[in-house]
Chains A and B, each alone.
Chain A
Amino acid sequence: MTGVQAKVLLIEDEPNISEALTFVLARDGHDVRTHSDGLTALDAIKDYGPDIIVLDVMLPNRSGFDILADLRASDFAPQTPVLMLTARGQKKDRDMAIDAGASRFMTKPFANDDVRQAINALLRQTGNHA
């Protein structure tokens, strides 16, 4: 709705949450892809080359923190903005996310509008979109 359209990769293992976010972001005109496994998440990022990544912390086989750390150290997408989502609401989770290089951090459950605005803000900051 804000006119900024981008490729969004949603890495989230809970299918209902994926479905809801996909619906919300697609309605804003974004090109949304989803991925649900931690181990293959980096391949998916490399494959798709998203403008922004929405990353869950508790993923099967590999944690979101580890994926993010690898991504920041990678040669293919070290700067891609990452919005982290977690259902573990403790302060240390937020600290760990920021330390690992998350651009934003949000606790579940969230308001759909908050996610949309955060994504748009991040996209505007980087300007790296189509």
Chain B
Amino acid sequence: MINANILLVVSLAYVVLLFAVAFWADRRAEAGRSTWLRSPLIYTLSLSVYCTAWTFYGAVGFAARSGLEFITIYLGPTLVVVGWWWILRKLVRIGKAQRITSIADLLSSRYGKSNLVGAIVTILAVVGTTPYIALQLQSVTLSFEAFNQVSPAASGGGVRNTALWVAAGLALFTILFGTRNLDVNERHHGVVTAIAIEAIVKLFALISVGVFVVWFVADGPADIQQRIDASAISQFDVDGSRWMGLTFLAAAAFICLPRMFHVTVVENEDEKNLEMASWAFPLYLGAMSLFVIPIAVVGLELLPADANPDLFVLTVPLSQGADGLALLSFLGGFSSATSMVIVAALALATMVSNNIVMPLYLRSRAGDGATISGDVRNVVLFSRRVAIVAILTLGYLYYSVSGGSRALSAIGLISFAGVAQVLPALLGALFWRGGTRTGAAAGLITGFTLWAFTLLLPNLAGQSAWFGPIMDNGLFGLAMLRPEALLGVTALDPLVHAIFWTMLLNTLAYIIGSVSSFPTPLERLQSVEFVNAFDQQSSPKGWSQSRAEAEDLLVMAQRIIGGRETQRLFAAQAQTQGKDGYLPDITPAFIETLEKRLAGSVGAATAHAMMAQIVGGSSVSVEDLIAVADETAQMMEYSNQLEIKSTELERTARQLRDANQKLTALSVQKDAFLSQISHELRTPMTSIRAFSEILREGELSVFEQKRYSSIIHDEARRLTRLLDDLLDLAVLENGQVSLNIEVDAIGDILDRSIAAVAKKDTKLDIKRRRIAERIKVQTDVDRLSQVFINLIANAQKYCDADAPVLHIEVSQVGADVIVDFIDNGSGIDSPQQAVIFEKFSRLSDHQRAGGAGLGLAICREIVSKLGGTIRYLPGHDGAAFRVTVPKALALAAQ
């Protein structure tokens, strides 16, 4: 038999292990070796903070009381995670872009960096979460009792103390690993890693109990199936409206619960992690729910009728004498409870400090008319630590006062419905630009009030006679205002009734409030950034000019995000601005970057107010400055919009103009090309036709006959050459060339080229340096030779010096071979140098040489196919061309 001492030692050992893991992970992260700590797997496991003690113990109780209904609690999150593309991805994207630290911060930021909205959400979250924390404390105490075989009624101070010690231990852990530092990103590697470990422990424990129940208590799946059919669980009716209501509630809670928002959005390192979570997390939930029904059925069979079904996971193994398994199961429940409390306390403390304490603190400082003074950083950390202790104390008090008597699942659902009130304002924030601060506040307050009236009050009414009359006769004695039958709606289940009314009126209030109020400029800007999170980068905005000195900002920033971090940020900004030193210019972009960074530590509204104080001047109140900021923002937004509009128009006009120009140019090019071809073909044909007619008519001297037929012959050859060139060019330009890569020395290629060009009567003297020509190239040797032939032939035709000389110089630069062809003629005028590589750009006097003006165009195409360039080298006396080709043309480059 396991006694209280062993249980205590095991729990302590487990807690020490968690501390060690968290400590180790934090150290690793600090050392910059946190890669796998941020893997999608760890992220997915950390999502399991959704599965609290309520899920671990309560699901079995839920199943024992209402059959399959417990599945809805898993179905809701599954729908959200599978549809991550729609909401979660956007939340994560915005969370990163705006450096969001909590769900209250998100709504505050979206609704004009409003303190009001942030504070409402924070209060709602604290009120909604406190019973839930109490629930976790209760579950731990209950599980202790299960071992001690002590009835709750007789437990007295000892059990209460268990809850107290657990609360204190969790506060210590959260403070140690959650508020060690004021991290810019609000990311806590240690905490998340510990949560991931706990996720594995609780899954393993629950499955172990399940396997035990199915294969050791019962005789395998078939037997279990029979037992299920025989039990009351299979008799429960499935109520459609309750199913839908519960699924909706679980989905909403998954998004809105502060702790869920914290792990899904704030602790998210990489948007891609969602992809794995989208299938792995539903799998996790599936595994968690696999054995719920078997355990419930066997528990109902084995244990006395008055046994608490919420503890079947523990009591079934205990009743069978499987103490070790019960201990494992206890650790699973303990993990579920502690992970929830730690993350919830962390998330709530961040919200309380950023959305309630800091605004009040700043307001009190602003009253002195002074700038931010003192170490804000310490104030933030201190307020968070106090908030953690306060939240856990609150949870403990709730547990003590409520007596821990309610069924776990009832408290869980009420809590879910409470935080779900954030949903309309949250969805509006993401998808509706028209949502305003007034609307958000109206919706939140309406939903919250109705929730308290329709769910919280009936829940409390069971324990206090004071509320009885309201339950029976309605508020102020009006039957229409009965908490569980508003406006006479009595047909619905109380929970569905509450979900229906709170969500309906909450959403209505949000929409009406939004439509009937006018958004501040800041709200409008933020609404654009949120709703269009995917298609625009945030643009510099807010402050156009500033009188702030960079030093002032540096001093302030150091107090919040620490000296080293601040200097790194400032230096990086200065570097992007192209400035030396560590003080950047106070540009709007810089201010916005800094503000977002600060928002990561103290929340959006606070960061904005602090920036306002420094950037806006020193001796005005926060309200004044915010008003100034709003005006500036309004003007900036207006001019931004104008600018965007006019940029858009300009761009459209430019695109049209460009398209038109392109079309015109293409058409002109086509016409010019056809004209050129026509001209080049018709000219030799004209000579041929004229002289052949003359020859046909006869009466010519032998000399004339000979001369005219040789002209016809030459012109016919000119035509053929032209057609060859045209075809060659067409093939090259269409990219249909297959290169034949070989290796050869440049000198050998030049030898063959010169031999191909050489005319008997040429005067051209070609000067070469054989040693340099030994370089080997791997390329299409024939094509390269074609280029050389063209260039040498050009020198032969056009070099007009009395003693024409062509220098061919070969050199190697890096991986390229350079071949220069420089003659001593009169060269090419600079205006013409620009066009010589174009088709038909033949220079005047061409007829003497008989080219069609396609040679250099062909050369250019070939060289480009060989991965190189050809260009005219200005600055020489004669014509000078430089061919550059890679020494080794990769086959893949073809």
Interface residues of A (CB under 8 A from B): 13-17, 19-21, 23-24, 58, 60-61, 87-90, 93, 107-113
Contacts and interface: CB of A to CB of B under 8 A. Distances in A.
Nearest to B704: A23
6 contacts: A14-B687, A16-B691, A20-B694, A60-B844, A87-B681, A111-B693
Nearest to B676: A88
A108 B711 contact: no
A110 B845 CA distance: 24
A87 B689 contact: no
Interface string B664-683: 00000001001100111111
A21 B689 CA distance: 11
Interface in B422-458: none
A89 B683 CA distance: 11
B577 interface: no
Given A14-B847, A87-B682, A90-B678, 9 more contacts: A14-B687, A19-B711, A23-B694, A24-B690, A87-B679, A108-B686, A109-B686, A110-B690, A113-B693
Interface string B615-641: 000000000000000000000000000
A60 B842 CA distance: 11
Given A13-B847, A16-B687, A24 B679 contact: no
Given A112-B690, A112-B693, A112-B694, A17 B678 contact: no
A20 B679 contact: no
Contact of B847 (A15, A19, A110): A15
A21 B691 CA distance: 9
A53 B694 CA distance: 22
A89 B693 contact: no
Interface in B73-97: none
B685 interface: yes
Minimum-distance CB pairs A-B, first 3: A20-B690, A87-B682, A16-B687
Contacts of A14: 683, 686-687, 847
Nearest to A36: B847
Contacts of A113: 693
B686 A87 contact: yes
Contacts of B687: 14, 16-17, 20
B100 interface: no
A7 to B, nearest CB: 21
Given A14-B687, A16-B687, A21-B690, A109 B682 contact: yes
B679 A88 contact: yes
Nearest to B684: A16
B682 A108 contact: yes
A111 B697 CA distance: 13
Chain B CB within 10 Å, residue with most, of A109, A110, A112: A109
Interface of B: 671, 674-675, 678-683, 685-691, 693-694, 711, 715, 844-845, 847
Interface residues of chain B: helix, strand, loop or mixed (majority): helix
B431 to A, nearest CB: 59
Chain A CB within 10 Å, residue with most, of B680, B690, B691, B693: B690
A38 B681 CA distance: 21
B852 to A, nearest CB: 13
Contacts of A90: 671, 674-675, 678
Contacts of B847: 13-15
A1 to B, nearest CB: 12
A1 B157 CA distance: 142
Contacts of B693: 111-113
Nearest to B718: A16
Contacts of B845: 60
A67 B678 CA distance: 22
A112 B693 CA distance: 7
Nearest to B696: A112
A15 to B, nearest CB: 7
A21 B693 CA distance: 11
Nearest to A58: B679
A60 B694 CA distance: 27
B635 to A, nearest CB: 56
Given A109-B690, A112-B690, A89 B715 contact: no
A88 B683 contact: no
Contacts of B680: 87
Contacts of A21: 690
Nearest to A23: B694
Nearest to B699: A27
Contacts of A93: 675
A17 B684 CA distance: 9
Contacts of A108: 682-683, 685-686
A2 to B, nearest CB: 16
Given A24-B694, A89-B678, A110 B689 contact: yes
Given A61-B844, A109-B685, A17 B679 contact: no
A19 B671 CA distance: 30
A20 B678 contact: no
Contacts of B682: 87-89, 107-109
B690 A17 contact: yes
A87 B682 CA distance: 5
Contacts of A107: 682
A16 B844 CA distance: 17
B669 to A, nearest CB: 15
A112 B847 CA distance: 22
A111 B689 CA distance: 7
Nearest to B690: A20
